[in-house]
Amino acid sequence: MYKKYLDMRLFKPFGVKVREQTIPLSDTAPVPAEIILQTRERIVFRAPKCGGGILLTGEPGLIGGGDWSRALWMGYDLYYPQPAMFALALATGFYRAGQDISREMPYVSTITGVFPYYPTRISYDFREFACGNGFLPRTPGRLKTVEAGRPMEAGEIIGLYFGGREQHEEQIIEISNLFISETEPDYPMPRMTMVDELGQWAQKDWPGKSRSEEEVVTRLRDEYARGAADALPGRSAWGGLLSKRLTQGTGYFATYRDENGKWWLTDPEGYAYMVMAVEGISPNAAGVVDEWEDSYAWLPPKEGPFAEAWSVSRGDPTKARRVKSAETVDFMRVHLIRAFGQDWRVKWGELTQNRLNAWGINNTGASCGRLRDEGVCSQPSFYFMGRSSGRSFPNTTVPIFRDFPDVFHPEYAQRCAEFAQDLEVIRGRQDIVGYFMVNEPEWTFIIDLEISEMLLAHPAPLASKEALIGFLQERYGDLAAFNAAWKLSLAGWEDLRQPIADAAKLSDAAARDLNDFSRILIAEYVRVPAQACKAYDPHHLNCGLRYPYIAYPNLVCGAEYLDIFDINDYRYDPKPYITWLSTLTDKPIMVSEFHHGSLDRGLPVTGIRGVRTQEERGVAYRFYMEQAASCPAFVGSVYFTLNDQPILCNAGQENYNIGFVDITNRPHTEITDALRQTAEHIYAVHEGSQPPYDRAPDWIPLNAH
């Protein structure tokens, strides 16, 4: 299916196959954008900095003259000439019949990343209109694709949008050969070397780019020979502050609220402990080979000394990240093997421990206690449930939507009790601060999602639907009163067992009732596993579910069952958000993921939050951490991640410049120097004896996902 060597000049446009229908681009309109060239098969447009694109509209399922209701795939070719050499995040939106296109957002939308100057075939499988996953499978040439929306059918489409998102520069985008089909297309890839012999991006140059194998090996050996760096003075064995003992200690990490209402963590001996962690502490920056194999200038032999640089990543193709398998190669390991030979793992561990000490890092995030067991890192860590046992966060055989389970079904409680047994591996461990139950549930990625509305639209006889019916019966008592409030004409309460789509739009009362029941559902979603975990392990801190964001207050429901309310917070200034969350939860707040990347140092994507330069990454780190630390509820954060990601993406389809070190294991000193400065001041900032760092960085919008 993958055609790796295809001269794009000889490529024939779609429409030549019997079961394909070409969709003309000549009728698309700018919204807003500047049309540079427009023909039936091809359109080139300039998206302004504020974002913009093109829109094609028509009758339901018939836009562009195609019969969308009978098609199973959509495809098109995308080209992005960008002299500044950063990736494009192409927004695609599908509007559903009944929507007001001039005022509403698309019913289903995707964001797809592509390289600059790299012709890329993009496809969309119409089964994804079910919106069952937030991340779409990788296809050749494409970077990460995320999806948001609610279920719809291809025959309901009345509008199709393509465009660039808000960006720090105008963007030229070319789309050609738009088609719908009954079959998946092939994916022609141009002959182009994307990765140099050292694992770096071949198409771009930058200050500090490594030039030779000898240069990398010498640098690593010299740094290792220098030995241990100076760690922060006045710290306990656990990384707590010796000059600030808050309790006598419990033997485990604990939460503490002082007389001024400030939240702290305490280490096992009772000393104040602010989490300054980094995630992903591993000699791992593995990039996908598979369809990209011929884009590497050199690949190490799979046998012999470089065998450990090769691996296969496997996953469940029906779940998050959608990876069945991916063969990967790790140039970071290649360089370590070259520098240190058979002892590369031990020496990487010593090198990394020296760096963490020098940077002021006091926690290894969810890298967990295995690093401590292996003698790699002495810092405490967190535990990620399920990663050692393979148990996933509990779901039910029939979920309500995506990974949100039927929380009132007895199956959920049973599976939560089994899930709690995963904590056996950390019971009694003093070096584990606490645990995360799951990371970024996929149902939370849809900002305007009302989970009870999805429940009511579900065709299955769910236990949670029976609970909803009982809730409405208790609230209204009389069926006539309910019908009047919801503007329905049900013959009996049992009629609610039949699916009702978009129920929140029926009336203000329906929207209010569904919102209230969503609070009950979400609280139950948190309560059942949290209580099972606390019963199994009463000592470690339950840090929650690492929500990607709190789009509306209902998502804090169930916080009372957690020890720490934890979020993955990708913002530039976290202070207003943390303050807001603390008023909603009355809990200590921790950030389990954040980062800032730039486009000036060897990778085409900023990551989820971007700044212009490496220097500004250091500014952004200090600003974020110290502004957060000035909040009374803040108890620390985990930076994501230690290593830059590989240029042709990891198995999770990411290639971000977000690490503290690059693919050749060279530290980005602009940000690591900032870590040390923040570590020296963070306790004083939190207690209020020193003001937080207040220089805001030069932010730019993220340019891909």
Determine the structural domain holding residue 152 and report its residue range.
Answer: 8-181
Q: Which residue has the higher pLDDT, 581 or 4?
A: 581
Model confidence at 502, in pLDDT bands (50, 70, 90)? very high
pLDDT (tens digit per residue) in 140-151: 999 999 999 999
Model confidence at 369, in pLDDT bands (50, 70, 90)? low
Q: What is the mean pLDDT of residues 653-675?
A: 97
CB atoms within 10 A of CB 198: 21
Q: In what order do the strands lie in the sheet with 145-149?
A: 29-30, 52-57, 157-164, 88-96, 108-114, 145-149
The b-or-e profile of 211-248 (16+ CB within 10 A means b, else e) is eeeeebbebbeebeeeeeeebbeebbebbbbeebbbee
* Tokens at 692, concatenated: 């937080």
Q: What's residue 368's pLDDT?
A: 66
* Tokens at 323, concatenated: 């990876």
Do residue 25 and residue 123 come from a single domain? yes
Q: What CATH number has the domain bearing residue 137?
A: 2.60.120.430
Task: Specify if 398 maps to a domain.
Answer: no
Say what percent of the chain tops pLDDT 70.
96
pLDDT (tens digit per residue) in 274-327: 999 999 999 999 999 999 999 999 999 999 999 999 999 888 777 655 678 899
- From the number of C-beta atoms within 10 Å of its C-beta (0-12, 13-18, 19+), residue 511 rates as middle
Q: What is the mean pLDDT of residues 65-86?
A: 96
Q: What's residue 321's pLDDT?
A: 59
Given 132, 163, 181, which residue is the final one in a domain? 181
Given 181, 204, 226, which residue is the final one in a domain? 181
Do residue 26 and residue 161 come from a single domain? yes
Residue 1 has pLDDT above 70, yes or no: no
Do residue 300 and residue 352 come from a single domain? yes
Q: What is the mean pLDDT of residues 409-436?
A: 97
Task: Specify if 112 maps to a domain.
Answer: yes
Q: What's residue 367's pLDDT?
A: 76
* Tokens at 652, concatenated: 């999770």
Task: Specify if 530 maps to a domain.
Answer: no
Model confidence at 13, in pLDDT bands (50, 70, 90)? very low
C-alpha to C-alpha distance for 402 and 128, rounded to whole angstroms: 12
Are the C-beta atoms of 392 and 441 separated by less than 8 Å? Answer: no
Given 137, 162, 181, which residue is the final one in a domain? 181
Residue 659 has pLDDT above 80, yes or no: yes
**What's at 34, amino acid-wise?**
E
C-alpha to C-alpha distance for 592 and 594, rounded to whole angstroms: 7
Do residue 137 and residue 269 come from a single domain? no
Do residue 238 and residue 97 come from a single domain? no
pLDDT (tens digit per residue) in 170-210: 999 999 999 999 999 999 999 999 999 999 999 999 999 99
Model confidence at 377, in pLDDT bands (50, 70, 90)? confident
Q: What's residue 179's pLDDT?
A: 97
Task: Specify if 101 maps to a domain.
Answer: yes
C-alpha to C-alpha distance for 78 and 507, rounded to whole angstroms: 42
Do residue 223 and residue 152 come from a single domain? no
Model confidence at 16, in pLDDT bands (50, 70, 90)? very low
Token pair 């702290």 is found at 264
Task: Specify if 533 maps to a domain.
Answer: no
Model confidence at 371, in pLDDT bands (50, 70, 90)? confident
Q: At what angle do helices 669-687 and 344-359 cross, to 10 degrees?
A: 50
Task: Specify if 579 maps to a domain.
Answer: yes
**Residues contacting 32, CB < 8 A, separation 6+:** 48, 52
Do residue 245 and residue 334 come from a single domain? yes
Number of domains in the chain: 2
**What's at 184, amino acid-wise?**
E
pLDDT (tens digit per residue) in 232-265: 999 999 999 999 999 999 999 999 999 999 999 9
Do residue 606 and residue 658 come from a single domain? yes
Q: What's residue 98's pLDDT?
A: 95
Do residue 163 and residue 217 come from a single domain? no
Do residue 334 and residue 272 come from a single domain? yes
Residue 538 has pLDDT above 60, yes or no: yes
Task: Specify if 524 maps to a domain.
Answer: no
Q: What's residue 450's pLDDT?
A: 96
Residue 17 has pLDDT above 50, yes or no: no
Q: What's residue 20's pLDDT?
A: 87
Distances (CA, A) of 476 to 456, 470, 483, 507, 509: 17, 10, 10, 15, 11
- What average pLDDT does the structure give for the chain? 94
Do residue 166 and residue 296 come from a single domain? no
Task: Specify if 357 maps to a domain.
Answer: yes
Q: Which residue has the higher pLDDT, 132 or 245?
A: 245
The b-or-e profile of 23-39 (16+ CB within 10 A means b, else e) is bbbebbebeebeeeebe
**What's at 220, amino acid-wise?**
L
* Tokens at 534, concatenated: 């606390």
Q: In 3D, which of 425, 421, 298 has the Cα closest to residue 369?
A: 425
Q: What CATH number has the domain bearing residue 646?
A: 3.20.20.80
Say what percent of the chain tops pLDDT 90.
90
pTM: 0.95
Coil vs helix vs strand at 492: coil
Q: What's residue 102's pLDDT?
A: 95
CB atoms within 10 A of CB 587: 21
